[in-house]
Structure 1
Amino acid sequence: MTTLAAGQDRMIGSLRAVLVIAARDLQRQVRRPGLLVSNAAQVLFFVVIYAVGFDTMVGTVDGVPFSAYVLPGIISIQVATVGITTGLSYAWDREYGVLREMLVAPVPRMCLPAGKVVGTTAIVSVQSLVLLVCAPVFGLRPPVGTIALAASVYVLGAVVFSLLGLFLATVLRRVQTLQASVQLAMFPMLFLSGSVFRPGGVPGWLGALIHVNPLTYLVDLARQVLIGPAAAVAPIGLDLVVLAGLVCAFAGCIRAKIGR
């Protein structure tokens, strides 16, 4: 009985630590409005250039207005960008000693990355819901149930790319190296995901790159949920398996790197 009580206390303490770390990251986001504005400006850039600027030129894709076709991809880009920057936040905490203070707390070490994932997921959930509610502006009118399902997809995406960012931060110890590596990886990943074009019409070598890109499966899953399977890259089941597999792989690597 004592062992069971001790296990429960440890679980409660771990959960409390995760929530404290998540709340700290959320407070930091609120206190840095410039970062929120820059994220909103990035989304606005993609909306204006792709959803509006190319809409009249491209017309429709598989019978869907181009602006509606690219909306799931634009939201996915935002999810991936916010998620991967979680690793940079982790690296700065490690650089300036905050991480060391957290690691001496009597809780499992995995609570720190878990808390950061929870905080990022909360931010992404709000941002994606705002964009999904604005979907009629882009010619897409999903029912409430579809909006909720799509938001769940983006939550899964936030977990995947937060863990990817944290994995990179545990492998690359220097903040400057991490920043350069993230910038180097982001643009190919964003533009080779089929987020703003139809993946089925590309050459074979480019299609191979698209299929090894983790963001491709988030874009494809969200697009199938919001629009339908007409322009699918893979079956919904495969998208889910790949994303869930990435969660397990990145979480396992992080745990192996930082310990329990």
Structure 2
Amino acid sequence: MLDRLAGEPGSAAPTQERLVVGAVRAVGVVAGRDLRRQIRRPGMLISNAAQLLFFIVIYAVGFDSMVGTVGSVPFSAYILPGIIAIPVATVGVATGLSYAWDREFGVLREMAVAPVPRMCLPAGKVVGTGVIVGAQSSVLLLCAPVFGLSPSLGQIAGATVAYLFGSVVFSLLGLFLATMLRQMQTLQASVQLTMLPMLFLSGSVFQPENVPAWLAVLIRINPMTYLVDLGRQVLMGGDHGLVPLGVDVLVLLVLAGFFTVGIRLKVGR
């Protein structure tokens, strides 16, 4: 891998253009490596599929007849954007664990001596996660009519972009945790401690408007709330939004910027 990142041996001092090309190549190498590893070890994808099946069976099917409709849409259609957001956030945050394993087994040391920016490794992780999340989200969006939701092609494309954006934000969150916490055991515990509140306080499988005031505060400080709300508004319109769509985008952008700065400070240029 190091040879592929380093480029041609014995070359002259790299120009700006060659540095950019080398950085893009490095990101592609890291992303491709992660994708191949995921194909060979599909445990995470199977785990996410089982989790989705649980939410679909219990919430979308089990509660549909009991809850009925939310406004003018079936309950199963209302929670579909939240169900799609669950693996987006889960796979994204798990990127931090993959980064930590690479750190443990020396990949970071290889990157450190290659003539590419150190941020290429986190960037490659984000790109690889985006490919996985994009494929998962597209499959679930194409299954939307099963849930009683019939989005247009434009809405499906917009939602796919929204979930790809969400995968970037939550991948950066996972990488931020991985760079701040050096011990694998501590990181794994922190990821679990982070994910559970985010999943259950995001409004993914309930109406976040109809909760007590103290719970509404917790929901609004949860990053995943804004991803769920963004997907819901893109697929179903602004009438079903918790906050304006622009606020969802702005909050996620601010979080992405904050996590990126934190990661860069830790890994260097």
TM-score calculated relative to the size of structure 2? 0.94
SS of 2:15 mapped into structure 1: helix
User: What is the CA–CA distance in structure 1 between the aligned matches of 2:246 and 2:221, rounded to whole Å?
Assistant: 17
Displacement of 1:160: 0.1
**Which deviates more from structure 2 when the two are superposed, residues 55-64 or residues 162-171?**
55-64
1:190-249 per-residue CA deviation (whole Å, 9 max, x = no partner) reads 010010110111011100000000000000010001111223111001111111111111
1:205 lines up with 2:214 in the alignment: yes
Displacement of 1:105: 1.1
Matches within 5 A, 1:73-112: 73-112=82-121
Aligned AA for 1:69?
Y
Structure 1 partner of 2:153: 144
Once the two structures are aligned, what percentage of the paired residues are identical?
68
Displacement of 1:103: 2.2
Do the aligned partners of 1:86 and 1:120 also contact (CA within 8 Å) in 2?
A: yes
Displacement of 1:43: 1.1
Matches within 5 A, 1:107-126: 107-126=116-135
User: What is the CA–CA distance in structure 2 between the aligned matches of 1:143 and 1:170, rounded to whole Å?
Assistant: 40
Matches within 5 A, 1:19-38: 19-38=28-47
SS of 1:130 mapped into structure 2: helix
1:7 lines up with 2:8 in the alignment: no
1:233 lines up with 2:242 in the alignment: yes
Structure 1 partner of 2:268: 259
Structure 2 partner of 1:57: 66
Aligned AA for 1:201?
N
SS of 1:102 mapped into structure 2: helix
Out of 134, 150, 163, which is 2:172 matched to? 163
User: What is the CA–CA distance in structure 1 between the aligned matches of 2:138 and 2:214, rounded to whole Å?
Assistant: 35
Matches within 5 A, 1:176-255: 176-255=185-264
Displacement of 1:99: 2.1
Structure 1 partner of 2:6: none
User: What is the CA–CA distance in structure 2 between the aligned matches of 1:128 and 1:186, rounded to whole Å?
Assistant: 19
User: What is the CA–CA distance in structure 2 between the aligned matches of 1:29 and 1:10, rounded to whole Å?
Assistant: 29
Do the aligned partners of 1:198 and 1:231 also contact (CA within 8 Å) in 2?
A: no
User: What is the CA–CA distance in structure 1 between the aligned matches of 2:255 and 2:192, rounded to whole Å?
Assistant: 21
User: What is the CA–CA distance in structure 2 between the aligned matches of 1:72 and 1:158, rounded to whole Å?
Assistant: 14
Do the aligned partners of 1:200 and 1:231 also contact (CA within 8 Å) in 2?
A: no
**Which deviates more from structure 2 when the two are superposed, residues 126-135 or residues 103-112?**
103-112
Do the aligned partners of 1:62 and 1:230 also contact (CA within 8 Å) in 2?
A: no
User: What is the CA–CA distance in structure 1 between the aligned matches of 2:139 and 2:34, rounded to whole Å?
Assistant: 20
User: What is the CA–CA distance in structure 2 between the aligned matches of 1:227 and 1:62, rounded to whole Å?
Assistant: 11
Aligned AA for 1:249?
F
Out of 173, 187, 207, which is 2:182 matched to? 173
User: What is the CA–CA distance in structure 2 between the aligned matches of 1:189 and 1:207, rounded to whole Å?
Assistant: 13
User: What is the CA–CA distance in structure 2 between the aligned matches of 1:231 and 1:83, rounded to whole Å?
Assistant: 25
Displacement of 1:33: 2.3
Displacement of 1:72: 0.1
User: What is the CA–CA distance in structure 2 between the aligned matches of 1:169 and 1:101, rounded to whole Å?
Assistant: 18
Do the aligned partners of 1:86 and 1:165 also contact (CA within 8 Å) in 2?
A: yes
Do the aligned partners of 1:88 and 1:178 also contact (CA within 8 Å) in 2?
A: yes
Aligned AA for 2:81?
P
User: What is the CA–CA distance in structure 1 between the aligned matches of 2:43 and 2:257, rounded to whole Å?
Assistant: 33
User: What is the CA–CA distance in structure 1 between the aligned matches of 2:58 and 2:205, rounded to whole Å?
Assistant: 10
1:32-78 per-residue CA deviation (whole Å, 9 max, x = no partner) reads 12322112111111111111111111001112100000000011111
User: What is the CA–CA distance in structure 2 between the aligned matches of 1:33 and 1:220, rounded to whole Å?
Assistant: 29
Aligned pairs, number:
258
